[in-house]
Structure 1
Amino acid sequence: MSPIRPIDCSAAVAELGRFYETLQPSSLARIGDLYAPDARFKDPFNEVVGTAAIARIFEHMFATVAAPCFVVTKRIVQGREAMLGWDFHLRLSGRDTVIRGVTHLQFDDAGRVVLHRDYWDAAEELYARLPLIGGLMRWLRRRLSSG
């Protein structure tokens, strides 16, 4: 077994950031250029393997979310790994909404993503903003808060 060579994924991270900031349904065909065929993707709602499954997540996003737009706010790269901070802008229940999160990425020798893991607080960023669930979430937060 040969040791993993250290590589710098800065260029791949910059390209991936541009991809997400300009993401449109027509650009989903590029996922195979940016992600390895067996890439793993996980977020609070999905856990899939493979570029076709990853593309379906974004197809679903475009079909169900109004005006989705990612803005990359931070890039941290160390060898084969990176973290992207981002704001996801969308229209939820007729109101403009921003969900803040971070993505952990791992890359292969070719600079393609092999692991994409999104971290964001679905309870605070999404559920608390929904009409019926939001009131319950705010009550629960007050009830469990130490302050």
Structure 2
Amino acid sequence: MIDRANEGYTTASGEDLRLALARYVDLCGNLERARVKELRELCSPDVHFRDPFNDVRGVELFEKCMDKMFEDVGEPRFDVHDHVFSQQRNEVAYLRWTFHCRLPVRGPLQVEGMTEVHFDHKALVSAHLDHWDSGRQLYEKLPGIGFLLRRVRRKLAIPEAR
């Protein structure tokens, strides 16, 4: 028998993966600063976390990224709208979400995005890869730099999209 655990394939059962995803969705959708430490229970020690600002490996650094989010923005909240497993790779799932927070310089902010979640052979999260448009959904809304980025985007867009 081939050991697929080292090839990026999972040997966890479908039921284990469903339970692991349900627990992870619950954590993401009900994330509070006090719950950040729960990442240690749900993620592998060498979890890969990537978003538009960070690209780190290790559960401690993942926790640090989440702690920084709670320091930098007010009232952060994720609404997880949907989640599904990949039809090609049963160890990969996708979460569609909206992030809400308050920025000190701008006030309320809402960001829509998706997270690609990979599970290892123990049904622990081995990768949390966020996909969202930081330019349009964040940087363009900031004072100063936002004006310049909106101007560049309008120049690159077709007239009907401006």
Work out whether 1:13 is the aligned partner of 2:21: yes
TM-score by length of 2: 0.85
Q: By how many angstroms is 1:6 displaced?
A: 6.4
Partners of 1:41 and 1:48 within 8 A in 2: yes
Query: Which residue identity is paired with 1:103?
Result: T
Partners of 1:7 and 1:80 within 8 A in 2: no
- d(CA) in 2 for partners of 1:116, 1:128: 25
Once the two structures are superposed, the pairs formed by residues 91-110 of structure 1 within 5 Å of their partners are 91-92=102-103, 93-110=105-122
Q: By how many angstroms is 1:10 displaced?
A: 2.1
- d(CA) in 1 for partners of 2:153, 2:3: 50
Match of 1:25 among 27, 33, 37: 33
TM-score by length of 1: 0.93
What is the number of equivalent residue pairs in this alignment?
Answer: 147
RMSD: 1.4
Gaps of 5+ in 2: none
- d(CA) in 2 for partners of 1:95, 1:105: 30
**In the alignment, what sits opposite 1:130?**
142
**In the alignment, what sits opposite 2:56?**
48
1:66-120 CA-partner distances (Å, limit 9, x unpaired): 1100110110113111011111101123422111111111101221100111011
1:31-76 CA-partner distances (Å, limit 9, x unpaired): 1111001111111110111111100001111111111001101101
Q: By how many angstroms is 1:22 displaced?
A: 1.3
SS at match of 1:131: coil
Partners of 2:99 and 2:112 within 8 A in 1: yes
Partners of 2:12 and 2:122 within 8 A in 1: no
Moved over 3 A (4+): 3-7
